[in-house]
Amino acid sequence: MKGFIKQIKSIIKRIKSGELRKFVKEMRWVFRYANQYKLSIITYTLLGLSTIVTGLLSSFVSADMVDIITGQQTGEIVRTFSILIGVALLQFFIGQVSSFFSSKISLRMSQSMKADVFGKILETDLESLQSYHTGDLLTRWSSDVGTISSNLLGWIPNLIIYPVRFLSTLVVVLCYDPIFALLALAGVPVSALLSKTLIGRMRRNNKRSAALSAKISGFNQETFSNIQTIKAFNLLEVYKNRLKQNQKDYFDMQMDFQKMSIGTSFILTITGMVVSYGCYAFGIYRVWSGAISYGTMTLFLSMASSLRGTMGNLTSLVPTAITMSISAERLMDILEMPRETFEYAKEADLLKEQAVESGLNVIFNNFTYRYHTGTQVFNRAQFEAHPNEIVALVGPSGEGKTTMLRLILALLSLQEGEAYVYANNYKDRLNISPSTRRLFSYVPQGNSMFSGTIAENMRNVKEDASDLEIIEALKAACAWDFVNKLPKGINSSVQERGGGFSEGQAQRLSIARALICHAPVLLLDEATSALDIATERKVLKGIMSDKYMRTVIVTTHRPTVLEMCDRVYAIHDRRCNVMTDKEIEKIKHDF
């Protein structure tokens, strides 16, 4: 009695702590995806229920067959045997149809969920998303989505199929012999008690397993991405040892869980054996006393096995639900973060058309920005850039140059102030938001080329770009000279992260890609840092002599660029201050 009261108190404590509410919320999130496949789930459930009917029919026919063979009842053995074979073939057919149907829908569900989650991750607020390692994001997207999609289709139908199978089998046994039914269910309390312990351990293990898997995935991804640096610093043994340590942690965790599972399985097996042999002995006694026939004993044993198996299946639904809820929790952590909205896309497209003739003005007034960590980057700062201008942002590393470009691209959001763009009419200004991103082209720091061909990289930003347009963009970026010498020209391959090209060549390809989309504002984040001074000047002149009206905003450490700028902003002390000619000369002198 004390143990029962303690268990009730434990359940009440969990409910009060919000665990149950959280679990229900996670499962509701999972079922939203299942709702798209209602007809498929209903069909799969009906197929499962039909296997219950054929299973019971097979048990009854088998019992009759045994009684006919032992002479305890009369009947046509050929006819009964034919029915038995027919039922077996029907079971096989239903099983194959169910398997094919399950694989097909699970695959579709997996692809649908992955596409949906993939899109939502891409739309998630950048600063929030950056708190997760890319390896962790990849694990959540692939592993956690796979866990839900692989279990969801079977879990909902089985929630109906297993209870129906259990109750129908129990009714049959009770009709024949209530004592035998009680004996067959003798192991249920032991199974329930052990399952409670196993479920708690499983939830903790699954969480730990998911965290370690994400850590290992992130480690592997980061290692392969930086293999050149690892080789250069001779860190091969260091990284091999780190992998071994990660593997050891994962191995130890799995072995701890396996030891507990083996112990639980041992107790359940012994309990099952005691119940099975008990049923067998009771059946023999009933046959010996003449109370039942051999066929009925066969039926009892079959039903007893079915009851225990179905009880185990019912119990397995709980850890499966827990596994899905943990995966759902990990996905919800990401998907419930703030997402970008694009409600002003049409207005931005209209503004882009206007900017073809007049160019685009970028204005930031009294703006303030601080990171989620609390670090303040700008405080009531001012910034503006206008068509046919090259505006530079200079300042020490970490002062906010790249952050400024991210604010312009609406990758980050202001806490105070206003930021907007307008073409030829100030009254038609549009606040900077994710929708206005189509008005900008961007060349980030470092190598940002994708694997594929040069032409494919260019068409990533303008799908219908002709070969001639690509060549013109390459010429404007001073990249055509070396591309034209390649055996396949614009169809030459680009390796991952721009492999196969020098850093300067990769930068010029990135600039060409930014030019080809003909955006009215071009953002260059240290985009010419790998070029020599002569090529750098040539590239900037090529950009400004282009027939398209452009506003160019650059971040740079190199004073040679400043000579070509119409205005230079020094980012310092959380402000953007326009530099005087004397201050610019001092930068050149001190460089």
- pLDDT per residue over 477-494, tens digit each? 888 999 999 889 989 888
- Tell me: pLDDT of 284 over 90: no
- The model's pTM is 0.73
For residue 195, name the pLDDT band (cuts at 50, 70, 90).
low
User: In one letter, which amino acid is 191?
Assistant: S
- Tell me: pLDDT of 366 over 90: yes
3-state SS record for 19-31: HHHHHHHHHHHHH
For residue 362, name the pLDDT band (cuts at 50, 70, 90).
very high
User: Hey, is 525 helix, strand or coil?
Assistant: strand
Higher pLDDT, 330 or 185: 330
| Region 283-308 average pLDDT | 71
Please give the pLDDT value at position 15. 45
Higher pLDDT, 177 or 122: 122
Higher pLDDT, 418 or 449: 418
Beta bridge partners of 569: 393, 578
- Tell me: pLDDT of 8 over 60: no
Distance (Å, whole) CA 517 – CA 380: 33
| Region 164-193 average pLDDT | 70
Please give the pLDDT value at position 406. 92
Where residue 18 falls (left for φ over 0; alpha for ψ -120 to 50; beta otherwise) is: left
Phi, psi at 569, each rounded to 5° = -105, 130
**Strand-strand pairing, 551-555 and 452-453:** unpaired
| Highest mean pLDDT, choosing among 230-234, 264-268, 422-426 | 422-426
CATH T-level fold of 2-335: ABC transporter transmembrane region fold (1.20.1560)
Q: Are 354 and 424 spatial neighbours (Cβ–Cβ below 8 Å)? A: yes
Distance (Å, whole) CA 187 – CA 179: 14
Please give the pLDDT value at position 156. 82
For residue 367, name the pLDDT band (cuts at 50, 70, 90).
very high
pLDDT tens-digit map of 54-64: 887 877 777 77
Superfamily of domain 345-590: P-loop containing nucleotide triphosphate hydrolases (3.40.50.300)
Domain ranges for the chain, please list them: 2-335, 345-590
Residues in the chain: 591
- Tell me: pLDDT of 224 over 50: yes
Cα→Cα distances 397→393, 403, 555, 557, 588, Å: 11, 11, 11, 9, 17
What is the dihedral angle through the alpha carbons of 460, 463, 469, 470, rounded to the nearest 10 degrees? 30
The DSSP code sequence of 356-402 is HHH--EEEEEEEEEE-TTS-EEEEEEEEEE-TT-EEEEE-STTSSHH
Mean of pLDDT over the chain = 80
Higher pLDDT, 9 or 522: 522
Tell which residue, 139, 141, 111, has the closest CA to residue 124: 141
Distance (Å, whole) CA 189 – CA 446: 63
Please give the pLDDT value at position 520. 92
Please give the pLDDT value at position 404. 92
| Region 543-555 average pLDDT | 83
